[in-house]
Structure 1
């Protein structure tokens, strides 16, 4: 049992848990006033996120124990299940922030698009790992999985949830690129993607999205509308300085900065804990991504390697888009900060993903231990044979 525990990656055990626990503290700090204004107890959002955190810990343990190679056998069930959920939410879902993206189950809300991220990573990793022998053939090795990818993206765009669709698209590109696709095929896919975006762009342009772009790149021209949220984020970040105003001392959370406990939680962290708090959070997120890529590099199984790359890219891309939005580099898309922002579905999927990554790491470590044992045994056998040979040589000369 102890040997099995040692095979897990403790960096990928403690880092996500520390980030999620820190997220609970910051969610409470950022949401207590909002919760009271909405007529709830000050711990309303903390309690909900704590429930999801507990469920996430269970999912983490189960996924860490479940052999990752079995997901290939369950792939049809997983992908059909996600498609049913995405189609179902368009019919029976609840509309939040102009998007029909949620199933409301009692006090909790479930967002199927979050589960689609992990399901698509598994699907692409499974399919492309089986197509390695003819990955250089576009029509046979590259194109078929893209049909499923476009279908899932289409269901998410219909909600509409452009932010999640963009994340899934970038994750899919990362997995496909890592599978060994030829450069000219990659360029062809990029051209195809740009063509689809160009054709769909007229129907996607709305006044709200135009305000988001204007607010991101010219916020002070619309300080009371599209640029308001970003200006408040700038104020929070600027006031924080090096060490911040102190935990719980944010002014922006008092009704000035909306969504402070979700998309803009990093702005509250900057205000209360300063530049040092921001650096620590980003460093922990970077550690998860880099550790995942290290495991992908060490994994000899192509499915496990692509799966680790997909999970790592999911965390990295989502963090980049969130941080880009609060700093004005990217338009505001409603993407939460991994592990830290309020959002149960996101946290559950991320914790399950870390469990899967740990299972891959355990497989890699066991394989490495086995090779080291074989190497030591081979060296010991060789030494014994040399020793015996020397004795025979000495006896013969006598």
Structure 2
């Protein structure tokens, strides 16, 4: 049994995840070695060591998520505990939260700092996948199936926006959209949701105007100004983007060489977090950028392929949610540092420095590996053992016979 399970793991997927982590670790050191000393008064390997510890801890969590059957998350007590802790941590932020970057998004405990919103992203994915599987029989019933998950997710997004952390709230909303499209709802129900959203925006507009000074702060408006004219506002709103573009433009095809970035010498703030890809472009050129994009592309493609192969709704939606999270986060980060989108502070998955983000991503990747293993095991050793459901039911999910571990 154990040999069959080990043969069912997707080792290409596992290798891709850890290759991203190792490459990211190297670039975290390269991009932060100067700012660690000049800005934070620490050793040059300060952020490298912290990221290394996170990856080591995350690897244990990755292994656990890859081994423990993912359908354990459907257990009532487990699911309720996950959601209770998620909401609880977001509420605690308003009392004991630590402010950094104009957002009260961190909790400090015994010298360690965590960002609850990062963990909430995965919690919402698990919650939506579980709810939509349990409601497959009446997935298009607005009152029982469609609206409750949306209201709960909207409440989570509201708590995050109030920190304020608009970027994470937008990511969760987009993940919700991807999972709704994959949930088996009819296009009629989805069209109804879109119409309701438009009506809400129209009704909300006058209220938003009353609180425009709080919703559209000077800092948020400046981000849009920086995108439209980065070099014209280089001393102010466009400072980050202008220096990011300088870094990208100076890299050429092969870059200036690993460790030879100029922009990391205090010109480009957050060079090891939000703008680490700009440093990669400067030091390793287009080839380095394509290497990262290729690995992320393999990971995202495999995630959606796993979702396509999975025969139970929970596994399918779990894979869709995780793959969407990685893809959306990568697109927002790359859009921000190239000027296609406003800068939101979203990190590049598996590459940027960030303990909470890395830990959540490794757990998520472990769950993806877990779903893939069950798929492969079923195809190789449980062929024909799936329980078929009514062909008229949408989506046409099948529930595989679970095996004992």
TM-score, normalising length: structure 2: 0.90
Using the TM superposition, give the Cα deviation of residue 200 of structure 1 relative to its aligned residue in structure 2, in angstroms.
4.1
Q: In 2, distance between residues paired with 1:178 and 1:336?
A: 26
Q: In 2, distance between residues paired with 1:304 and 1:266?
A: 32
Residue 104 of structure 1 aligns with which residue?
108
Please tell me whether the aligned partners of residues 263 and 341 of structure 1 are also in contact (alpha carbons under 8 angstroms). yes
Residue 64 of structure 1 aligns with which residue?
66
**Which of the numbers 210, 216, 219 marks the counterpart of 1:208?**
219
Residue 287 of structure 2 aligns with which residue?
276
Q: Equivalences for 1:147-226 in 2 at 5 Å? A: 147-194=151-198, 195-196=200-201, 198=205, 199-200=207-208, 202=212, 203-226=214-237
Q: Equivalences for 1:33-182 in 2 at 5 Å? A: 33-37=34-38, 38-73=40-75, 74-182=78-186
**Which of the numbers 326, 331, 344 marks the counterpart of 2:337?**
326
Q: Equivalences for 1:211-360 in 2 at 5 Å? A: 211-360=222-371
Residues 8-35 of structure 1, C-alpha deviation per residue, up to 9 Å, x if partnerless?
A: 1112211111101111110111101101
Residues 138-168 of structure 1, C-alpha deviation per residue, up to 9 Å, x if partnerless?
A: 2222111112101111110110000011001
Q: In 1, distance between residues paired with 2:164 and 2:34?
A: 30
Q: In 2, distance between residues paired with 1:223 and 1:77?
A: 47
Please tell me whether the aligned partners of residues 4 and 377 of structure 2 are also in contact (alpha carbons under 8 angstroms). no
| In the alignment, structure 1 residue 32 sits paired with structure 2 residue 36 | no
Higher helix share: 1
Using the TM superposition, give the Cα deviation of residue 370 of structure 1 relative to its aligned residue in structure 2, in angstroms.
2.3
Please tell me whether the aligned partners of residues 48 and 108 of structure 1 are also in contact (alpha carbons under 8 angstroms). no
Q: Which consecutive aligned stretches of 4+ in structure 1 deviate over 6 angstroms post-superposition?
A: none
Please tell me whether the aligned partners of residues 241 and 337 of structure 2 are also in contact (alpha carbons under 8 angstroms). yes
Using the TM superposition, give the Cα deviation of residue 108 of structure 1 relative to its aligned residue in structure 2, in angstroms.
2.9
Q: In 1, distance between residues paired with 2:208 and 2:143?
A: 24
Please tell me whether the aligned partners of residues 175 and 309 of structure 1 are also in contact (alpha carbons under 8 angstroms). yes
Using the TM superposition, give the Cα deviation of residue 327 of structure 1 relative to its aligned residue in structure 2, in angstroms.
0.6
Using the TM superposition, give the Cα deviation of residue 373 of structure 1 relative to its aligned residue in structure 2, in angstroms.
8.6
Using the TM superposition, give the Cα deviation of residue 191 of structure 1 relative to its aligned residue in structure 2, in angstroms.
4.1
Considering only aligned residues, what root-mean-square deviation do their CA atoms show, in Å?
1.4
Larger radius of gyration: 1
Q: In 2, distance between residues paired with 1:171 and 1:186?
A: 15
Structure 1 regions of 5+ residues with no counterpart? 375-398
Greater Cα shift, 193-202 or 183-192? 193-202
Please tell me whether the aligned partners of residues 66 and 366 of structure 2 are also in contact (alpha carbons under 8 angstroms). yes
3-state DSSP of counterpart to 2:323: helix
Greater Cα shift, 284-293 or 189-198? 189-198
3-state DSSP of counterpart to 1:160: coil
Q: In 2, distance between residues paired with 1:340 and 1:142?
A: 36
